[in-house]
Chain A
């Protein structure tokens, strides 16, 4: 479903210009970092004078390449991303051109599937892994994560030859908070009833957050917000739905599209391609390193335990955005989010908020089955 907002064109058309930009940067000696996860602070990358693109794959066509080396029963995001890199390194033409522009992958010890994939990745691309304490509220967890961030900064400094100073880091924090503030403004507008933009359009914008240069992205979102403030919404009707769960990487819009084709409108996403990336700000006080460690370790991902923060966030968002129901979306074989579903379900039940769980891969074979579940869910909450 499309909202008909003209400012959205920028996001659809921006791929090629960004590729040109990245190529020009590389010609000038600027390094490009590829990442896979929100736990890797962009601020440090930019402060070291590098650029970054996120490499999470949402397309099904690179999966068969990955399955030549990886087990079939792991999540499609890991397979799709890995397959794109392998294909690109083996001279194939499946991967999007940006994959070939990466100098270093900075990965992170989150879920088992990714961790073990990162052990194979160095055969294809230079890879560095940041460790993550998985009980974020333990004493010293933040201190340890901070030491990991320092090590990571050193790696970058060696690569770019530019020191990450407190001053440059504070400036990057200020800029990234600006992006976050803008995204808060963007999401705030979706609280209107009816909302001025579809969830499918928002998803396509949010996916670009991980690809475009931050300044470009802010410009686009700012224009979009201005337009949204002017329009009288009429495109988006039906029940207000919240999505919660796994990321929907670029190329993956299946479930969102099905939900909105069935007549509902998605008004908020509790996911890496939704609120998780921008909800919390980084403290702009005198100690930028500690501020980063604390902010990033508090990201409510299901790889953390216990993850009460996420459960509370979901309930809060559901109320704040006045949703009629929650669709709990998981990637097939994503154990962390699949298991956490039960706790989320219980918390929502207590608040009398209906929830539908959908587990899916990147193929189209289950579009009809998902459609039946969504139809029934919408009839149920009407």
Chain B
């Protein structure tokens, strides 16, 4: 039996194909304007590259911000439940999950893969991947290099604005004052790590914490968050697909 999990995220779409034993394949792509087309295209592309026919897929579950647009899915589940299932399959002992994605950040308290409590950030971009994306632009650094750059900082700049627009102008004024790029990068990342860290502490997370979502790929962010929380974080090799994986796991027991 093969099931599929589709995470129609605000920034990126992720698809995971899962057999009884393992992940058969996965793909990640930037979400285009239309959630459905983005999901459909990515799903088809993954099927053909994995050499699997569509009829072989038993059940499809969708999750993520655009989950309801994915009309070819048999069922939808929230990304909070999906993350809990996905992360539990990779790290069974985990008690907390920090998920920093494109549009929001979440902290989930879990027990044996079941959601016990969760918190999400307010409705603005502060503390999300979008914040890093915009401010990296102001710094004229590719988003993929921001984390490594920040690790080279010796005197991180203090970035106090958590509003994306204000932080952008703060970055520009720091540049004007001749502050090194790496220090500004470290300041930006430190700001988010602090914000997400407060949310994690508020939810009562202490140890055995997994860090997932697109932002977990950022080595600087991971280091900064570990410092903030005082523990090592569990980061899966592909932190962006855990919600899609969770949806595929849920689809195993689910009905069509």
Q: Do A and B bind each other?
A: yes
A interface with B by C-beta (< 8 Å): 354, 359, 365-366, 368-369, 372-373, 375-376, 379-380
Chain A neighbourhood of B65, CB < 8 A: 368, 372
B115 lies within 8 A of A379 (CB): yes
Cβ-defined partner of B123 (8 Å) among A369, A375, A380: A369
List the A side residues contacting B104 at CB < 8 Å: 369
Query: Do A376 and B80 have beta carbons less than 8 Å apart?
Result: yes
- The digit string for B63-79, where 1 denotes a CB below 8 A from any CB of A, is 00100000000000111
Known: A365-B123, A366-B123. A372 touches B79 (CB 8 A): yes
By size class, the interface of chain B is 10 to 19
Per-residue A-contact encoding for B104-126, CB less than 8 Å = 1, 0 else = 10000000001111101011000
B120 cross-chain contacts in A, Cβ below 8 A: 369, 372-373
Are B81 and A376 touching (Cβ within 8 A)?
yes
Chain A minimum-CB-distance residue to B106: A376
Question: Separation in Å of the B43 CB from the closest CB of chain A?
Answer: 22
> Is A379's CB under 8 angstroms from B77's CB?
yes
Q: What residues of chain A lie closer than 8 Å to B117, measured between beta carbons?
A: 354, 380
Chain B residues with Cβ below 8 Å from A372 are 65, 78-80, 120
Q: Give the chain B neighbours of A368 by CB distance below 8 A.
A: 65
B79 touching A380, Cβ below 8 Å: no
Q: How far is the CB of A60 from chain B (nearest CB, A)?
A: 15
Within 8 A of A (CB), among B110-147: 114-118, 120, 122-123
Most chain A CB atoms below 10 A, which of B78, B79, B116, B117: B78
B78 touches A379 (CB 8 A): yes
A376–B123 CB distance below 8 A: no
A375 to B78 alpha-carbon distance, docked (Å): 6
Min CB gap A261→B, angstroms = 11
Q: Which chain B residue has the least Cβ–Cβ distance from A342?
A: B202
**Can you report 23 A-B residue pairs in the complex whose CB atoms are below 8 A from each other?**
A354-B117, A359-B122, A366-B123, A368-B65, A369-B120, A369-B123, A372-B78, A372-B79, A372-B80, A372-B120, A373-B120, A376-B78, A376-B79, A376-B81, A376-B115, A379-B77, A379-B78, A379-B80, A380-B80, A380-B81, A380-B114, A380-B116, A380-B118
Which residue of chain B has its CB nearest to the CB of A372? B78
> 16 new A-B pairs (CB below 8 Å) besides A369-B120, A372-B65, A375-B77?
A366-B123, A369-B104, A372-B79, A372-B80, A373-B120, A375-B78, A376-B79, A376-B80, A379-B77, A379-B80, A379-B115, A380-B80, A380-B81, A380-B114, A380-B116, A380-B118
Q: Which residue of B lies closest to A357 (CB)?
A: B119
For the complex of A and B, list the 6 residue pairs with the smallest distance between their C-beta atoms, beginning with the closest: A376-B80, A376-B78, A375-B78, A380-B115, A379-B81, A366-B123
- A359: chain B residues within 8 A (beta carbon): 122
CB distance from A337 to the nearest CB of B (A): 16
Q: How far is the CA of A40 from the CA of B239 in the complex (A)?
A: 56
Question: For the complex, what is the distance from the CA of A24 to the CA of B123, rounded to whole Å?
Answer: 47
A354 to chain B minimum Cβ distance, whole angstroms, is 7
Distance in angstroms from B162 CB to nearest chain A CB is 15
Smallest Cβ distance from B48 to chain A, in angstroms?
A: 32
Residues of chain B within 8 A of A373, CB atoms compared? 120
